Structure 1
Amino acid sequence: MKRSSRKPEKMSDVLASFMSTTKDGGRVEQARVVPEWPALVGEQISAVTEPIMITRDGTLFVAVKTSSWMSELSLMEPQLLIAINEGRTAGKVARIHWRLMG
């Protein structure tokens, strides 16, 4: 029996590769936006927002503390989408739906 000369791969790398080639790999990428939110948008925006959920069509629902912040974030949405989707090949966020908290 011939031995393979390949090095063992990390399970996380194998799983990430598998998920990127499956139909639901994009959903996994989308779902990662919620826990990664503070790192994606920064401390200031993270302090006044809370990501709620993301739908299959790529709509991210985010709760906002005040209406003035909601207006400001609506204007910033194109830049935020670029930052959120940077480096993603699948599971991109298509739009953000802002809601007032409460």
Structure 2
Amino acid sequence: MARRSNEQPLGEVIRELLSSYRLEGKLNQARIIEAWPEVTGTMITNHTKDLYIKGSRLFVKLDSPALKNELAYSKGQIIDSLNGIVGGKIITDIVFN
């Protein structure tokens, strides 16, 4: 008598668990926020006062108006880099305050 195997790769099981509890989006948001210093570098991170995600928009509070204007020109590249780290299109816009 042959036995059926119910084995699944651990990564697949974790993805199914996150999906069933609707935690996948929250995990991706945390990854985006965690990746901010890696993508933007030390200088920008030091001027970043708050980061949060609402919907598919990343809100970034900066303490430098000049930096805010400068980052507006790099918005597309920052979005692509952050989404690339997560492996999906999580962020569609960045709002600098």
TM-score normalised per structure 2: 0.72
Q: Is the 8 A contact 1:48 1:64 kept in 2?
A: yes
1:79 is the counterpart of 2:77: yes
SS at match of 1:63: strand
1:52 is the counterpart of 2:77: no
SS at match of 1:97: strand
> Partners in 2 of 1:75 and 1:31 — Cα distance?
25
Q: Is the 8 A contact 1:50 1:63 kept in 2?
A: yes
SS at match of 1:60: strand
Cα–Cα, structure 1 residues 93 and 50, in superposed 2: closer, same or farther, change >3 Å?
farther
Task: Kindly state the Cα deviation for residue 72 of structure 1 after the two structures are TM-superposed.
Answer: 0.1
Structure 1 equivalent of residue 33 of structure 2: 34
Number of residue pairs matched by the alignment: 93
What are structure 2's unaligned runs of at least 5 residues? none
Cα–Cα, structure 1 residues 5 and 61, in superposed 2: closer, same or farther, change >3 Å?
closer
1:94 is the counterpart of 2:92: yes
Task: Kindly state the Cα deviation for residue 79 of structure 1 after the two structures are TM-superposed.
Answer: 0.8
Identical positions, percent: 24
Task: Kindly state the Cα deviation for residue 20 of structure 1 after the two structures are TM-superposed.
Answer: 5.7
CA RMSD of aligned residues (A): 2.8
TM-score normalised per structure 1: 0.69
